[in-house]
Amino acid sequence: MKVALCHHYSLTFQGGGERFIIDVAEQLRKRGHKPVIYALPFGRRAVNVSEILRGMEYHESFIHKINDADVAYFIYAPLVHHLFLGNCPKICAIHSFVFLRELQHPKINYITHLSFVKKFGFTRFVSYLYFNEIGRKHLSAFNAIHVINRAALEKFQEGIRIYYVPNWINTSKFKPVGEKNERFSVLFIGRKTKGFSSFVNIANFFKGRKIDFFAIGPNLKNIGNVKNLGLITDIRELIELYSRVHVLVHTSEVDVFPMSLLEASACKVPIITLTTRAIRGLNLPLFYVNSVKEFAEKIYELENIWRTRREEYIKISEKMRDAVMKYDVNVVFPKFLKMLKEVAENSV
């Protein structure tokens, strides 16, 4: 089966969507299928993707002609699917929080238009307005919809085929590879818009204490107690970092399916997170809080458990890995492949 993987960003952008597309292509190739990646040249960075692609076919242009694919998989963005020309069956994948505000932190549903633009940018704001006013009517241009969070099923009940298949993780790769740091350490992963300022405020509670606060992601800075480790794209380096830290703090108010939670869980890292429908839908043994103060209190608690009741901390960590095994690639990807085959074979 030949599968066209279509994305509105250049793979050089190296965000979550780009990593997902590359992983899908790798999984398809492992199983004897032929993936071809088509991308628009938006978000380009000075990155050589040839090593990442490892020989997979990749095309980057403003317009693509797709004539011989059995099925095309699109990460949805308004209107851009018109730049991919072809008559094969099409799957629309809803990955962005912009189209699923119901799954986000409650305050996002009450945010003003101006605040939304300041926080997330004009492009995302226009995408949100378009999708809610016009875009959902245009989903009929696709043969099926794919959602990665079960709670999103409620939003799409218009007769078009809809599939729920979550994201996956390779638990044979993501696993602890070393001992924890001697000093208790807390990790943040994400962009500034994913709650970095809240993480800095949390760290401020611990001035003078022997606790390290690390952050990784693009365009972050060393602020107060927070040490910025930059953007880590090497998977081995990332796994080593997960293995060393004691807690992952997830302060984002907007997510559909954050892969960092799966990755940290597989590496036996306890996670403290805000309460949202999207995060609860992952069904992982997370610690839920609702404020910066509650984040700090839970960190204090876990630090105390680590220092005085080490066996209890180990049990918490092992429980994380046990729970995330349901998202292992060998469990989930066959469902994703089944979706591709059904749409390819049953669409007119």
Do both 323 and 334 map to the same domain?
A: no
Is the pLDDT score of 104 beyond 90? no
In a domain, 177, yes or no: no
With vertex at residue 231, the alpha carbon angle to CA 227 and CA 237, rounded to the nearest 5 degrees, is 90
Is the pLDDT score of 63 beyond 70? yes
Domain coverage including residue 45: 2-168+329-346
> What's the whole-model pTM score?
0.89
Tell me what pLDDT residue 268 has.
Answer: 98
Question: Token pair of 218, please?
Answer: 């693009």
In a domain, 293, yes or no: yes
Do both 319 and 295 map to the same domain?
A: yes
Q: Tell me the CATH number at 133.
A: 3.40.50.2000
Tell me what pLDDT residue 252 has.
Answer: 93
In a domain, 178, yes or no: no
Q: For residues 159-173, give the mean pLDDT.
A: 93
Is the pLDDT score of 286 beyond 70? yes
Do both 234 and 265 map to the same domain?
A: yes
Q: For residues 76-93, give the mean pLDDT.
A: 91
98 pLDDT band (50/70/90 cuts)? confident
In a domain, 173, yes or no: no
Answer for the pair 188, 202: CB distance below 8 angstroms, yes or no: no
DSSP 226-267: EEE------HHHHHHHHHH-SEEEE--S--SS-HHHHHHHHT
In a domain, 179, yes or no: no
Tell me what pLDDT residue 23 has.
Answer: 93
Do both 293 and 334 map to the same domain?
A: no
Is the pLDDT score of 236 beyond 70? yes
Quick one: DSSP state of residue 182?
Answer: S
Distance of alpha carbon 188 from alpha carbon 110, whole angstroms: 26
In a domain, 145, yes or no: yes
Number of domains in the chain: 2
In a domain, 175, yes or no: no
Answer for the pair 232, 241: CB distance below 8 angstroms, yes or no: yes
326 pLDDT band (50/70/90 cuts)? very high
Do both 63 and 191 map to the same domain?
A: no
158 pLDDT band (50/70/90 cuts)? low
